[in-house]
Structure 1
């Protein structure tokens, strides 16, 4: 787990260093907006930092309240409905907000040199990112499951030997009971490992796009652009936090790991806003280098989130026998999913 957190920290620092690359080579003229008001924009950005930080923290913390409020436990219908809603928000973020932005950036008329106008690179990058996420997901799950099975087998062999030597008359019954218990523990351990891998991979995907959208807000100098972004990002981070928080609760991490993952999620977008504020005076969103870097990152983040939302969040719950055998619960989570995608998609009208 410590290695995963170090990887997340390195990934965040790598993304945070990208502004150093996008402030140069401004071949296209910077966009001008008569409505620019730096003082008013800065005030709104500061408000955005605190609003997004609060919404992210509360959203990520809500699933953890299941210990005090039974209705929020991972095994309840309400939890599944809220998780489906959050997955819908994440899915709409990828399809409606990030992927179209990637196509706009990589198809910009400012990219006159190179192959950018001749091939849909945004779709290619999103596809490769989804495949890469699948590879990481399966390899990590397989590795940890093999390690867990090896450990469980070693412990089971020792216990079987001890009980068998304790009484030959009862050896067969004891061995059978231990074998049954070992199988049950192995299944539970495999499921726990799966939840932990899902939570960690989802966190990395969220970090990628959270920094990007934070930088976009922080670099803007137009209050009319920032206002709807504050509302949209606050809404988005709150429900995305619920989705991530639900995965963290199901993964049963230790308290230190839970707090670390929640802190990373809560701070990524505010940190992105701060970075955007820092580069706003020299940043040219129409420079070829900025367009390529932002377009590729938007597409990659979209691919990661699409895979995570469909495979690790929705399919995981929708294919659960408990859901499959309950028509009422199926209807509830399907409606919840559609409402989440609809609300997040509607925000594209303003932001």
Structure 2
């Protein structure tokens, strides 16, 4: 199987998952605890993928005596890049229930729709959309780099980059659900929400294919480009996962056991996925 065909299959699955996540707020409303457990599992999975897949592959691909130092620098760059995005655009909100709860305690006791619109306006859904778009493009770059890794090492392409793919395909519905819920609360009609969700869903495949095309222009430098990108993506994944986990520790004192078990299951799943990929 060619890289392009494998990436096409991955892209279709990611787009479908993102579209489903965008439609969920119109169909069902996940309970607070259910959302938190899902977030913990996905965060654990992303954390495991960063440490068990992306970072080791980055060091291996570099193949130099300074590979570890170089990987750590690029990992830090990716982590800080995503941290700045989160701080500027505040786009990583996965719990619509929190929005509803904040409205319940609104001291103005005004109309619910007006209160929701005011809150969403303060969050700036445009900024959230922009931040999510950059975040999703970064995920696509990570997917493209992970798939490209095995090709450069002449390893079997089947299930190449599978760990990164699973982390993305499980995380995208949460991101899509966030932007759709905020747009719905701010009064956007269904057609506009579906259109925005469709645009958002294609960002990840676009990022993946752009990376493959761009990396191919560097010839003998491809290994270094892919290695640096993998390390950078590891930092992005670590920041994303911790942005879900750390607030949970501070603000969610309930269901500690369930949330912790979900986290560990996610990490173990990431480790187990490594056995399905080609060995390096």
TM-score where L is the length of structure 2? 0.69
Q: Does 1:241 align with 2:208?
A: no
What is residue 265 of structure 1 aligned with on the other side? 204
Q: Secondary structure at the match of 2:66?
A: coil
Gap change, CA 1:67 and 1:118, over 3 Å in 2: closer
Superimposed CA distance per residue, residues 144-195 of structure 1 (whole angstroms, 9 cap, x where no aligned partner): xxxxxxxxxxxxxxxxxxxxxxxxxxxxxxxxxx98359x959972797288
Please, which runs of 5 or more residues in structure 2 have no aligned partner?
91-105
- Deviation at 1:120? 0.6
Gap change, CA 1:121 and 1:199, over 3 Å in 2: farther
Q: Does 1:63 align with 2:63?
A: no
Q: Does 1:88 align with 2:44?
A: yes
CA–CA separation in structure 2 for the residues paired with 1:246 and 1:214: 24
Q: Does 1:334 align with 2:265?
A: no
Q: Secondary structure at the match of 1:120?
A: helix
Match of 1:99 among 35, 55, 60: 55
Gap change, CA 1:317 and 1:293, over 3 Å in 2: same
Match of 2:235 among 279, 300, 303: 303
Superimposed CA distance per residue, residues 104-140 of structure 1 (whole angstroms, 9 cap, x where no aligned partner): 334x13xxxxxx6387121122223323332343244
TM-score where L is the length of structure 1? 0.57
- Deviation at 1:332? 2.3
What is residue 123 of structure 2 aligned with on the other side? 193
Gap change, CA 1:186 and 1:265, over 3 Å in 2: same
CA–CA separation in structure 2 for the residues paired with 1:69 and 1:290: 45
- Deviation at 1:317? 4.0
What is residue 151 of structure 1 aligned with on the other side? none
- Deviation at 1:318? 4.4
What is residue 204 of structure 1 aligned with on the other side? 134
RMSD: 3.9
CA–CA separation in structure 1 for the residues paired with 2:26 and 2:196: 20
Q: Secondary structure at the match of 1:319?
A: helix
Please, which runs of 5 or more residues in structure 1 have no aligned partner?
1-40, 110-115, 142-177
CA–CA separation in structure 2 for the residues paired with 1:335 and 1:265: 29
Gap change, CA 1:305 and 1:188, over 3 Å in 2: farther
Gap change, CA 1:94 and 1:202, over 3 Å in 2: farther
Q: Does 1:349 align with 2:275?
A: yes
Q: Does 1:124 align with 2:73?
A: yes
Gap change, CA 1:45 and 1:57, over 3 Å in 2: same
- Deviation at 1:208? 2.5
What is residue 180 of structure 1 aligned with on the other side? 108
- Deviation at 1:98? 1.4
Once the two structures are superposed, the pairs formed by residues 210-289 of structure 1 within 5 Å of their partners are: 210-214=140-144, 217=147, 220=151, 225-229=156-160, 231-232=162-163, 234-252=165-183, 254=188, 255=193, 256-269=195-208, 271=209, 275=213, 279=216, 287=220, 289=221
Gap change, CA 1:225 and 1:119, over 3 Å in 2: closer
CA–CA separation in structure 2 for the residues paired with 1:251 and 1:274: 33
- Deviation at 1:75? 4.2
Q: Secondary structure at the match of 1:228?
A: coil
- Deviation at 1:343? 0.9
Q: Are 1:209 and 1:301, in contact at CA under 8 Å, matched by a contact in 2?
A: yes
Gap change, CA 1:64 and 1:187, over 3 Å in 2: closer
Which has the larger Rg?
1
